[in-house]
Structure 1
Amino acid sequence: MTVHNIATVEEFKEAIAKNPIVVLDAFATWCGPCKAIAPTVAKWSEEPQFKDTVYFAKFDVDALPDLAQELGIRAMPTFVIFKNGDKADEFVGANPPALLATITKQL
């Protein structure tokens, strides 16, 4: 698996409808912490514990401001975790151990 780029609100809705667990990274291209944590998240998307159960996705808040507003994104990076189509958790910041714990508790 990989981190899928969400380019439209429709793609976002399809992702949370089709996948039991979605980790959505709300990022900005100019955000330093976003760039710092992105390789770690990409690595997790390949790990056996997540590979077949968690759908990793990301979207640029500047490209999809309507989605950012709908999700209440106030800082980047914000990771929103959906379980069975509903928002299950949220994590703000670029702290890999804490983010990993937040994702893992949804499994």
Structure 2
Amino acid sequence: MVRSSCIVVCLLFCFISCMGFLNNHTPRKRLLQPSTNNRQKISLNELSEPVRSGEEYENSEMVFAVQNMEELQEKLDKSGQYDAVVVKVYSESCRACKFMTAQFVKVLEENPNILGLKINGGMYPELSKKLGVRGVPTFIMYINGERVDHFYAKTRDALEENIEVNM
């Protein structure tokens, strides 16, 4: 009986101590606080043009497919009438690549002095490796048949900016 009384007293003491600790303890700050900035909501009716997938532009006459180094070199050799050649390396499973297909075609439509080529890096990985591509979508720019730059772009602004810098 003495033992059970001692156990009850000890448990009661522990319980009271923990309760005191819990009452005096201040909670830690949350690391991820909800955002307080007000984002402006845009309805679909306010967009200037409809949202399109890259599939609409996949077979565009503005971009020519390349399957090997010989074909790429042949296109570069015959590109004298253009100020630049931009090669897009992509993968069919890449969402950013699908989005950039439409953006790439639009940039080429606005710049008829640029020749557009495309390489399916997923289908031709050895060609991608020879070109030094590490991720997709990668754009490689040539001027007068010489490689001047390669860059990763997943927005139209980034694509246009990189082309302008190298022209």
**TM-score under structure 2 normalisation?**
0.58
**Aligned counterpart for 1:14 among listed residues 49, 58, 74:** 74
Task: State the secondary structure of the residue aligned to 2:67.
Answer: coil
Shift of 1:3: 1.1
Bigger Cα displacement from structure 2, 38-47 vs 27-36 = 38-47
Shift of 1:84: 1.1
1-structure distance, mates of 2:158, 2:92 = 23
Identity value in percent: 28
2-structure distance, mates of 1:2, 1:83 = 18
2-structure distance, mates of 1:74, 1:87 = 17
**Aligned counterpart for 2:123 among listed residues 63, 87, 101:** 63
Task: State the secondary structure of the residue aligned to 2:166.
Answer: coil
2-structure distance, mates of 1:11, 1:98 = 27
Count of paired positions? 104
1-structure distance, mates of 2:97, 2:150 = 15
Task: Within 5 Å, give how 1:45-60 maps onto structure 2.
Answer: 45-47=108-110, 50-51=111-112, 53-60=113-120
Could you tell me which residue of structure 1 aligns to residue 96 of structure 2?
33
RMSD over equivalenced CA pairs, Å: 1.5
Could you tell me which residue of structure 2 aligns to residue 74 of structure 1?
134
- The structure with the greater share of residues assigned to strand is 1
Long gaps (5+) in structure 1: none
Give the number of the structure with larger relative contact order, counting CA–CA contacts within 8 Å between residues 6 or more apart. 1
Task: Note the alpha carbon deviations across 1:42-91, whole angstroms, 9 max, x for none.
Answer: 112211xx21x210111101222221011110000000001111111111
Code of the aligned partner of 1:98? A
Long gaps (5+) in structure 2: 1-60
Task: Indicate yes or no: 2:84 matched with 1:24.
Answer: no
2-structure distance, mates of 1:94, 1:76 = 9
